[in-house]
C-alpha cells in the first residue's frame, strides 16, 4: 500500500494486487471484526467452569496437547485473522498479569462483541458504544470493590488460601486431587513469600515432572530437585551435612586461546603429557578437598580420568547441571557460583542437610534431591503422572494455583465465584444505566447483559437449563440483597458460594472486566480492513 498525490495535490492510496484485495469499510468492517472475535470466544465457551470440556490440539509435528486452560488453547491454535489474534493476546495478558481467568476473559469479550453487534444494528455509533462500555466497566469494578471481603491468614493458618486455590483447580483435569495440589501450591508460595513486603518471587519455585506413579504421588520438596545422577555409579548415593562446591569451570586441562599443534613422536613425550594432565586433575580435585567440599556440582562435563580420580578421592560429583538449576541451588544452599578453581574458598560453599539420589520404578532413571538447605527460599514441586500430557496439564494447573496464591498475598480481597460476582455486577450496571440520559445507556445495559453470559455458560456447561437457572439465582440475589449467590455447578444443593467455599481473587476479576472492555473498544474503533483474502 502506498500514498500518492494527483495533479491537484489530493492524496489517494495505491494498493498492490488491487484485484486480489478486498476492502471492508464502516459497518461491514466492524461486523466482520466482531464475527472473528465471537468465533474465538465460541471455541472457549464450552471450556468454562468446573464441568467445562477439554480441547485436544495437535501440533504441526504431531504432538498432542489436551487442556481446558484458555491461554494454552489459544496459544497453540493457528490463528491468521488479526482480530482473532487480539483475542489470543487478551488471554495471554490475563495469564501474564493474573495467571488465572484466561477462559473467562475471552468469553466475556465475546459476549461484549455480541451485544455491540446488536447495538450497531440499532444504528448506534460504535464510539458511543465504546464510551458506554467504558462507563459500565468502571461501575462494575467499583461495585466489586464494595462487595469484596478481606480475610486474614498467616504461615500457620492458610486454609483460606487453600480454598481459593481449590476453586481454581476445580475446572482442571486434576480436580480429583485438588485439595492436595492446592495445599502443595500454598505451602510452596508461603515458603518463598516475603510477607512483610507482600511479595512473592515465583522464579524460586521450580516445577518438575516425571512420567510414572500416580498424580497423588506429587510432592513438595523444600530444596532443589535436579534431573541428574552422580557421575560415577560407585559414588555414595546419600550425603548428610553436605558442603557443596558449585562450579562453572570444567574438570579438564586449560586450553590455549590460539591455534596450537602438539607433536608427540616418542613414548617419553606422551608419558610427560599424560603426567602433566594427571597433575592438573590432581590439583583441581585437591583444591575442592582443601576447602572442605563434600560434593561437587559442575555446569560442564569431565572426562573419565577426572571422574575416576574424584571417585578415588571420595569426592562425589554431578556434571552437566543447567545454568538455571545452578542458580537455584546457589540460592537454596547459600553458596556462590565459582567460575575458577583458584577462587574456591570455604565461604563460597553451599550447605545442605541432605543430598540423596533416588531411582524411580523399574527404569534406571535417577534424580538428585538437595534438601534441608541453609536457605529454604527455593522449593520444588515434583509432579508424577501416567503420561506426559497429564504432567504438562498438571504443570499448567499448578501454575494457575501458584499465581492465585501469590495474588492473594499481594491483595487479600476476594469475591465469590460460580458467576456470583458477574450477576451482582450485572444488576449494579443495569441500575446505573438509568442515571445516564444519553445513548450510552443502551451500551451500559448491553454490558449488563454481556456479564450474564458467564453464569449462563457455567450453567450450560454443567448440564443445567441456562436461562431458568440464571433467572432463579438473579431473583434470589435481588430478593435477599446478598451478592454471594451463584450457579450450583457441582450440584451441591445450595447456590450460596460461601457454603461451597468458591472464591476468586478481587484483582483477577477486576482485571478480567477491564481487559475485555479494553480489547472490545479497540475492535469497535476499527472501521477499515484491507486484506488479501476474502472474509
Q: What is the pLDDT of residues 183-200, one digit of tens each?
A: 999 999 988 888 888 888
Listed in sequence order, the DSSP H helices in 46-125 are 70-76, 82-97, 102-121
- pLDDT greater than 80 at residue 369: yes
The pLDDT of residue 154 is 73
Q: Do the Cβ atoms of 177 and 219 come closer than 8 Å?
A: no
How much is the average pLDDT of 226-239? 88
The confidence band for 204, taking pLDDT boundaries of 50, 70 and 90, is confident
Provide, rounded to the nearest whole percent, the portion of the chain with pLDDT above 90. 22
Distance CA 485, CA 44 (A): 24
Distance CA 357, CA 364 (A): 12
Distance CA 380, CA 358 (A): 15
Query: Lowest-pLDDT range, 137-151, 267-281, 468-482?
Result: 267-281
The confidence band for 445, taking pLDDT boundaries of 50, 70 and 90, is very high
Tens digits of residue pLDDT in 146-185: 999 887 777 777 888 888 888 888 878 888 888 899 999 9
Distance CA 509, CA 141 (A): 9
- pLDDT greater than 50 at residue 359: yes
The confidence band for 322, taking pLDDT boundaries of 50, 70 and 90, is confident
The pLDDT of residue 376 is 65
pLDDT, the chain, mean:
85
The pLDDT of residue 475 is 92
- pLDDT greater than 60 at residue 20: no
Q: Which of 95, 100, 229, 400 is catalytic?
A: 400
The pLDDT of residue 535 is 39
The confidence band for 133, taking pLDDT boundaries of 50, 70 and 90, is very high
DSSP code for 489: T
Q: Do the Cβ atoms of 354 and 369 come closer than 8 Å?
A: yes
Residue 303 DSSP SS3:
coil
| The three three-digit cell numbers of residue 64, written as one number | 498432542
Helix axis angle, 126-147 to 420-433, nearest 10°: 120
pTM comes to: 0.79
Residue 119: which H helix or E strand, with range? helix 102-121
How much is the average pLDDT of 283-296? 88
How much is the average pLDDT of 341-366? 85
| Higher-scoring residue by pLDDT: 25, 423 | 423
Helix axis angle, 102-121 to 440-451, nearest 10°: 140
Distance CA 194, CA 222 (A): 16
| The three three-digit cell numbers of residue 36, written as one number | 472473528
- pLDDT greater than 90 at residue 305: no
The confidence band for 363, taking pLDDT boundaries of 50, 70 and 90, is low
The pLDDT of residue 275 is 83
Helix axis angle, 102-121 to 26-45, nearest 10°: 150
Query: Lowest-pLDDT range, 52-56, 248-252, 314-318, 394-398?
Result: 248-252
How much is the average pLDDT of 137-152? 90
Helix axis angle, 453-461 to 440-451, nearest 10°: 20
* 366-373 vs 379-385, strand pairing mode: unpaired
The pLDDT of residue 5 is 67
- pLDDT greater than 70 at residue 9: no
The pLDDT of residue 14 is 62
Residues across the chain: 535
The pLDDT of residue 532 is 54
Query: Lowest-pLDDT range, 24-38, 389-403, 456-470?
Result: 24-38
SS (H, E, C) 258-299: CCCCCCCCCHHHHHHHHHHHHHHHHHHHHHHHHCCCCEEEEC
Beta bridge pairs of residue 208: 382
Q: Which of 65, 69, 135, 505 is catalytic?
A: 69
Spell out the residues 6+ positions from residue 70 whose beta carbon is closer than 8 angstroms to its own.
44, 47, 91, 94, 102, 103, 104, 105, 106
Residue of 257, 249, 258, 259 lying closest to 280 (CA atoms): 249
Q: Which of 65, 72, 95, 102 is catalytic?
A: 102
Distance CA 129, CA 444 (A): 8
The confidence band for 211, taking pLDDT boundaries of 50, 70 and 90, is confident
Distance CA 279, CA 268 (A): 16
Radius of gyration of the chain (CA): 30
| Higher-scoring residue by pLDDT: 262, 371 | 371
How much is the average pLDDT of 398-426? 89
Distance CA 232, CA 285 (A): 15
Q: Is 102 a catalytic residue?
A: yes
| Higher-scoring residue by pLDDT: 37, 25 | 37
Q: Which of 65, 72, 95, 103 is catalytic?
A: 103
What is the number of other CB atoms lying within 10 angstroms of the CB of residue 128? 16
Amino acid at each position: 500500500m502506498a500514498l500518492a498525490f494527483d495533479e491537484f495535490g489530493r492524496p489517494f492510496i495505491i494498493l498492490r494486487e488491487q484485484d486480489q484485495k478486498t476492502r471492508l469499510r464502516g459497518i461491514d468492517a466492524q461486523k466482520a471484526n466482531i464475527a472473528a472475535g465471537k468465533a474465538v470466544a465460541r471455541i472457549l465457551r464450552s471450556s468454562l467452569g468446573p464441568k467445562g470440556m477439554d480441547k485436544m490440539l495437535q501440533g504441526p509435528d504431531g504432538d498432542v496437547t489436551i487442556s481446558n486452560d484458555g491461554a494454552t488453547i489459544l496459544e497453540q491454535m493457528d490463528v491468521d485473522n488479526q482480530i482473532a489474534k487480539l483475542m489470543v493476546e487478551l488471554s495471554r495478558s490475563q495469564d501474564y498479569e493474573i495467571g488465572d481467568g484466561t477462559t473467562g476473559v475471552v468469553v466475556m469479550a465475546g459476549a461484549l462483541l455480541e451485544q455491540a453487534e446488536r447495538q450497531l444494528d440499532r444504528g448506534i455509533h460504535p464510539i458511543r458504544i465504546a464510551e458506554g462500555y467504558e462507563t459500565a466497566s468502571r461501575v462494575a469494578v467499583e461495585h466489586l470493590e464494595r462487595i469484596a471481603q478481606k480475610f486474614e491468614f498467616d504461615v500457620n493458618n492458610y486454609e483460606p488460601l487453600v480454598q481459593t486455590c481449590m476453586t481454581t483447580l476445580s475446572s482442571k483435569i486434576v480436580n480429583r486431587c485438588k485439595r492436595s495440589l492446592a495445599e502443595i501450591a500454598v505451602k510452596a508460595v508461603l515458603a518463598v513469600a516475603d510477607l512483610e513486603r507482600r511479595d512473592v518471587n515465583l522464579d524460586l519455585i521450580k516445577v518438575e515432572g516425571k512420567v510414572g506413579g500416580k498424580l497423588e504421588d506429587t510432592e513438595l520438596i523444600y530444596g532443589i530437585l535436579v534431573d541428574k545422577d552422580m557421575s560415577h555409579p560407585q559414588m555414595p548415593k546419600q550425603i548428610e551435612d553436605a558442603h557443596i562446591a558449585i562450579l562453572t569451570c570444567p574438570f579438564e586441562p586449560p586450553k590455549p586461546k590460539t591455534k596450537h599443534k602438539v607433536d608427540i613422536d616418542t613414548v617419553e613425550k606422551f608419558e610427560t603429557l599424560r603426567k602433566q594432565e594427571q597433575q592438573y586433575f590432581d590439583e583441581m580435585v585437591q583444591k575442592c578437598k582443601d576447602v572442605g567440599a563434600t560434593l561437587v556440582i559442575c555446569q560442564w562435563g569431565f572426562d573419565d580420568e577426572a571422574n575416576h580420580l574424584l571417585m578415588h578421592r571420595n569426592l562425589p560429583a554431578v556434571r552437566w547441571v543447567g545454568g538455571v538449576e545452578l542458580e537455584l541451588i546457589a540460592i537454596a544452599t547459600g553458596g556462590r557460583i565459582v567460575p575458577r578453581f583458584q577462587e574456591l574458598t570455604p565461604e563460597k560453599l553451599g550447605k545442605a542437610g541432605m543430598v540423596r539420589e533416588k531411582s524411580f520404578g523399574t527404569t534406571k532413571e535417577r534424580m538428585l534431591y538437595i534438601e534441608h538447605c541453609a536457605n529454604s527460599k527455593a522449593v520444588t514441586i515434583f509432579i508424577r503422572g501416567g503420561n506426559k500430557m497429564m504432567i504438562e496439564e498438571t504443570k499448567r494447573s499448578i501454575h494457575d494455583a501458584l499465581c492465585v496464591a501469590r495474588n492473594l498475598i499481594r491483595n487479600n480481597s476476594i469475591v465469590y465465584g460460580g458467576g456470583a460476582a458477574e450477576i451482582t455486577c450485572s444488576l449494579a450496571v443495569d441500575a446505573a444505566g438509568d442515571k445516564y440520559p444519553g445513548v450510552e445507556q443502551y451500551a451500559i445495559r448491553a454490558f449488563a447483559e454481556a456479564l450474564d453470559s458467564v453464569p449462563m455458560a457455567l450453567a450450560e456447561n454443567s448440564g443445567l437449563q441456562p436461562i431458568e437457572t440464571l433467572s432463579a439465582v438473579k431473583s434470589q440475589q435481588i430478593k435477599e440483597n446478598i451478592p454471594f449467590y451463584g450457579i450450583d455447578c457441582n450440584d451441591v444443593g445450595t447456590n450460596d458460594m460461601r457454603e461451597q467455599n468458591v472464591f476468586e481473587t478481587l484483582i483477577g476479576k477486576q482485571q478480567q472486566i477491564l481487559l475485555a472492555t479494553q480489547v472490545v473498544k479497540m475492535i469497535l474503533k476499527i472501521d477499515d480492513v484491507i486484506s488479501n483474502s476474502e472474509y
